[in-house]
Structure formats: structure tokens, C-alpha cells
Amino acid sequence: MFKIDGLDKLTRQLEQAQQALEEFDGELGTVNFDPNDPASIEAAIQQANATLEAKVSPWVDDPLVAQMVDGMKEQFREAIIERAAAARLESDEK
């Protein structure tokens, strides 16, 4: 018989990641911003980041959760910037 070191730690991290993922089921929140105001756009990005961090605060030290949240932050950032650009284009076309 042999023992694999670190398996308990990995199992615990995976369980924590699963719990954190469950926090993202459904709507996370709403951000509002002025698409013509860079400061407003940045504030919306920061608000989205804070919302994500608050949802997973119990698992903040789990590296898998941290990696997942970093990826989600980048996706939300890109989505907000894209929506602002689309709104500016739409208003220019009117």
C-alpha cells in the first residue's frame, strides 16, 4: 500500500471550488454606467469585481477559486467595455 501526499489538500480545494461555483448560480448583480464616461465604466468594472469577491469571500484563500474569479473578472471587464462601445456606436448612429 502507498500514500499519495497532497490528495487531501487537492480534494479540499476542489470541494471549495465547487461551493464557490454554486454561489454564481443565477444573477450576480447589476451594474449601471454611462458609456460615454470612462470613469463610470471603470466604476462599473470595480463594482462587478467587488460583487464577485464578496460572493467567494469564504474561499478567498483557495487557489482554484482565486484563478476562477480572476478569469471571471476579466470576462466581466471585457463585457462591460464591449457594451459601452456598442452603446456609443448606437448613439452615434441616431
Identify which has the larger pLDDT, 68 or 1. 68
Reduced to 3 states (helix: H, G, I; strand: E, B; else coil), residue 5 is: coil
Q: What angle do CA 29, 68, 24 make, to 5 degrees?
A: 30
Segment 53-93, tens digit of pLDDT: 888 888 878 888 888 889 989 999 999 999 999 999 988 77
Banded pLDDT at 36 (limits 50, 70, 90): very high
pTM assigned to the model: 0.75
Segment 8-32, tens digit of pLDDT: 777 777 787 787 777 766 667 789 9
The separation between CA 46 and the C-alpha centre of its own chain, rounded to angstroms, equals 10
Question: Cα dihedral sign for 60, 66, 70, 72?
Answer: negative
* pLDDT value at residue 85: 95
Alpha carbons 34 and 41: distance in angstroms, whole number: 7
Report yes or no: 26 and 73 within 8 Å, Cβ to Cβ: no
